[in-house]
Structure 1
Amino acid sequence: MTLKLLHILSYTQIFLNKNKQGVSKMELKKIAVGLTALLGMSVANAHNVWLEPASAQGEYVVKFGHEQTETYPESKLKSIQALNAQGKLTAVDYQFRNGEAYLMPKSDLVFVHFDNGVWSKLPSGKYVEKTKREEPTAEFSTNPVKFGKAILKWDAESFKSHQQAYELIPQEKAQANKPLSILVLHNGKPVQGIKVGVSEDAPFNLTNEKGIAQFTPTKGFNKVWAEFEENITNNADYDRRSVEYMLTFDAQ
C-alpha cells in the first residue's frame, strides 16, 4: 500500500475516533480538511486510462479511474491513435457517449493520451483544479498526464517501440503466471528505477539499468502500471508533471 493511501486511512481513523470522543467541531473540521486534501491529491494523480471491450462486438471504451471508473470531459482526452498497415500511428474516430469515448479500432495496437488538467495544493492543504497562475499562493501545481497502450492482439508490433514519449514494451507474448520482462522507455531510451506493477497500491518492481522490470501476468485481462515524474521550469501554470502509464493485454 502506498504512503498516500496510508495517510488517507490514518486520517480517516483519526476522524472516526475523534468523532466518537466528542471533540470540538473545530478539531473535527481540521481533520476533515486534511482528509479532503489527501483525497483530492489521490483524485488528481492516482487515476489511469485504459481500453476495455464494450458491449457491442468489436467496440472498445476508454476507461478512466482507479479502483472505480469515472466519467470525464471529452476535452481531457487528447488523442486516440492506432497502428495502421504501414506501421504508422493514425487518429482513431470515436463517439463520446455518457462521459466516455467508444471506438471500433481496425488495429491490434491502440494508444491513448489523456490530460487531467492542472491541480494546485493550497496552503490549507486542499487540492483544487486550478493553475498556479489562478492560485498564486499555491504551494505547488502539478499536471497529471495519463497514457494508455492496448495490445488487442499479439503480433510483431507488440514488441517494438513506436516513437512515444513514454512506452512500456513486453519482450515476449504474455503467458499467465510466467514472469514477463517489460521494457520501459522515455523518449526512446531505457529508464532505470521506474516502478512497474499492477497499480500504485500494489507491490511493484523497479526497472534495472537496461530499463527492464519483471511483471507476472494472470490469466485473462492484465493491466501493467508505471509512473514517471517530471520537474517543469519556466511554466507559469504548473511546476511539475506526473505521468502514469497503463499497458493492457490478455494472457492465456
Structure 2
Amino acid sequence: MNNITKFVTTAALAASLLASAATHAHGIWFAQRNNQLALLYGIGADDLDMVKRFSMVKSIAGFDATGKPVPTSLIKTDHLILVDTENQPALVAAVLDNGTWSKTPEGKWLKKGKDEVPDAVVSEQNYKYAVLIRGQMTAPLPLLPGQTLQILPVDATLPALLGQSMKLRVMYQGKPVAGARVLHDWINDPDSEQLKTSADGTVTIKVRNQGLNVVVAIFNSPPEDPKKTNTVEHLASLSFVLPHAPE
C-alpha cells in the first residue's frame, strides 16, 4: 500500500470513527417526570443517572416568551434533577460540560485525553446543551446565553400536529453553521439517518411525535487542546411538546 493510499484510508477511518462516536453520543434534554420538569442525561429511551452528573451542569436559565430572563434553578433530589418552574419560564436552557473522553481500539471509553491513552482511536472534549420550549412563542426563539450550539425553529409558531414540516436553523457561536448533523427524534430513534444543515444552517424535518419531541444537533469544532483531544463535540437538544387531543 503506497503512502497516498495509506493516508486516504486513515483519513476515511478517522472520519468514520468520529461519525460513529457522534451518533452514539449522550445528550441532555428536558422532560416531564411525575408532573415535574426534569433535566435528563442519556440517549434514546435510556436516561441515565443525572444526579451523579449534577456538578457537571455549568448553567441553568429560564426566560419568558420574549427571551427576557426569568429566575430559575435546579433542585437535586435522590434520583432526579428537577427544574424550579415557580416563575413559569417559557424557555429553559442548560449547559453541561461532560469532560474529555478517549476511545480505545477495543471500543472502551475512558475519561482521559489522548495524552493518557496514546493508542486512542479518537479523543473528544464534550459539551452538552439543552433548550426547552414550554409553550407557544410570541416571537422566533432567540439565541440564548451559553448555548454555543443551538437549534432555532425558523418560525415563531410550532407545528400543531405530528408529520408536519418544521424548518430549523443550527447556530454555532451565534452564526449559522453548515454540515451540522441533525437527528429528528432523539428519544425514539437515536440511530436514524442524520440530516445535515445547508450553507445557511437550515434543515427541514418532519415532526415525529404528538407529544414530546427532542431534536438533536451535533457539530464538531477544532480541539481546544490538540495534545489531549482530536476534536470538540457540541451536542445540542431542542425539546417541545405537541399537545394531545382533549380527554
TM (norm. structure 1) is 0.73
- 1:61 to 2:38 alignment: yes
- 1:186 to 2:172 alignment: yes
The corresponding residue for 2:31 is: 52
Output aligned runs, 1:95-134, within 5 Å. Answer: 95-105=75-85, 106-122=88-104, 125-134=107-116
For 1:78 and 1:91, locate their aligned partners in 2 and report how far apart those are by CA, in whole Å: 16
Q: In structure 2, do the counterparts of structure 1 residues 155 and 207 end up closer, same or farther at CA, with 3 Å as the change threshold?
A: same
Aligned to 1:76, which of 56, 61, 68?
Answer: 56
For 1:194 and 1:234, locate their aligned partners in 2 and report how far apart those are by CA, in whole Å: 22
- 1:212 to 2:212 alignment: no
SS at match of 2:47: coil
Shift of 1:233: 4.6
Q: How many residue pairs align between the two structures?
A: 211
Shift of 1:125: 4.7
Output aligned runs, 1:207-246, within 5 Å. Answer: 207-217=197-207, 218-246=209-237
For 1:147 and 1:153, locate their aligned partners in 2 and report how far apart those are by CA, in whole Å: 19
SS at match of 2:164: coil
User: CA RMSD for the aligned pairs?
Assistant: 2.8
The corresponding residue for 1:169 is: 152
SS at match of 1:161: coil
For 1:117 and 1:236, locate their aligned partners in 2 and report how far apart those are by CA, in whole Å: 15
| Contact 2:75-2:83 at 8 Å conserved across structures | yes
| Contact 1:123-1:138 at 8 Å conserved across structures | yes
**Farther off after superposition, 42-51 or 104-113:** 42-51
CA deviation string 1:164-191 (max 9, x = no partner): 3211111222222210101111111111
Gaps of 5+ in 2: 1-16
For 2:160 and 2:92, locate their aligned partners in 1 and report how far apart those are by CA, in whole Å: 21
For 2:23 and 2:228, locate their aligned partners in 1 and report how far apart those are by CA, in whole Å: 16
Structure 1 or 2: larger helix share? 1
SS at match of 1:75: helix
Partner AA of 1:165 in structure 2: T
Shift of 1:203: 2.8
Partner AA of 1:81 in structure 2: A
- 1:142 to 2:128 alignment: no
For 1:201 and 1:44, locate their aligned partners in 2 and report how far apart those are by CA, in whole Å: 7
Partner AA of 1:174 in structure 2: P
CA deviation string 1:63-82 (max 9, x = no partner): 11113111032122222111
Greater Rg over alpha carbons, structure: 1
Gaps of 5+ in 1: 1-37
Partner AA of 1:69 in structure 2: D
Q: In structure 2, do the counterparts of structure 1 residues 122 and 49 end up closer, same or farther at CA, with 3 Å as the change threshold?
A: same
Partner AA of 1:198 in structure 2: D
TM (norm. structure 2) is 0.74
SS at match of 1:155: coil
The corresponding residue for 1:11 is: none
The corresponding residue for 2:10 is: none
For 2:123 and 2:25, locate their aligned partners in 1 and report how far apart those are by CA, in whole Å: 16
Partner AA of 2:213 in structure 1: N
SS at match of 1:118: strand
Q: In structure 2, do the counterparts of structure 1 residues 251 and 190 end up closer, same or farther at CA, with 3 Å as the change threshold?
A: same
